[in-house]
Amino acid sequence: MSTKQLEKINIIPEQEPRALSVMTPMDMIQRAVESGADIDMLEKLMALQERWEASQARKAFDEAVAASKAEIPPIERNATGHNSKRYADFSAIARVVDPILGRHGLSYRFRTSQTDRISVTCVLSHKAGHSEETTLTGPADSSGSKNAIQAIGSTLTYLQRYSLVQMLGLAAASDDDGKSAAGGETINEEQIGILTELLDSVGADKARFLRFFKIETLPTLPSKRFQEAVTMLNAKARG
């Protein structure tokens, strides 16, 4: 919207050149109505108001996520999976993060779909209205003696856990003996799982991915490059 158009509905007072710095789009709409602006002008101002509200909601979301992550501690690995690997199950993660997210106006939910594979989308929302989501996909977990329903349930639980971990950028504490894993230099079990699912869900060339990061196997990826890898794979998913 041009300055000349704003002047036409008296949004820019002649003697107050700084008025726009403190005037919200809603103030502009009210001024336009009082000045008898036409429908076209009001529609443009309404669109401006919607963009402003979306920007404010996104800002509130980012601030809430940053504040929450600053409070969320590493989560103890309370369960043992196959190969005797320790991990933090979904209930352990939820017990830690739910109260913290709630204090900052955040909540999460899951959306699922199934074709030949199962997809779980974690949606993180803020009370101001902005939300973001991430999706992971995998096959039904038919390992062991699971029936068809149990296989689906196992995959759903797995994908819910990892999609939430990815969305919040969580880290799991080392297992019970308290020893650090490689001094924190390489990605942990949770991060390996996240990248494995992302590589699979976006149809990435794993060999090319490893060459790009100059590593021979996924577990040797430096932890400081984990977020770079996630961002790159998510960008591929968006096309």
- pLDDT (tens digit, 9 = 90+) per residue, 105-130? 999 999 999 988 899 999 999 999 99
Find the DSSP H helices in the chain: 3-8, 25-34, 39-71, 90-103, 148-168, 189-201, 206-213, 226-238
| Ranges 32-36, 209-213, 231-235, most confident | 209-213
Q: What is the pLDDT of residue 227?
A: 85
Sequence-ordered list of residues with C-beta below 8 angstroms from that of 165, at least 6 positions apart, any chain: 93, 190, 194
Q: Residue 220: how many CB atoms within 10 A of its CB? A: 14
User: What residues does 118 pair with on adjacent strands?
Assistant: 114, 138
Domain boundaries, the chain: 68-179
Q: What is the pLDDT of residue 183?
A: 39
Output the six-digit token pair for 122. 């974690």
How far is 207 from 228, CA to CA, in rounded Å? 17
Greater model confidence, 63 or 176:
63
pLDDT tens-digit map of 9-48: 555 445 555 544 556 666 666 776 666 666 777 677 677 7
175: confidence class by pLDDT, cuts 50, 70, 90: very low
Q: What is the pLDDT of residue 113?
A: 93
Of the candidate ranges 40-44, 50-54, 114-118, 186-190, the one whose mean pLDDT is the lowest: 40-44
Q: What is the pLDDT of residue 177?
A: 33
Q: What is the pLDDT of residue 179?
A: 33
Torsion of CA 187, 189, 191, 195, to 10 degrees: 110
pLDDT tens-digit map of 62-109: 999 999 999 998 888 888 766 567 788 899 999 999 999 999 999 999
171: confidence class by pLDDT, cuts 50, 70, 90: low
Greater model confidence, 13 or 174:
13
Q: How many CA atoms lie within 13 A of 172 on its CB side?
A: 30
Q: What is the pLDDT of residue 76?
A: 84
How far is 69 from 62, CA to CA, in rounded Å? 11
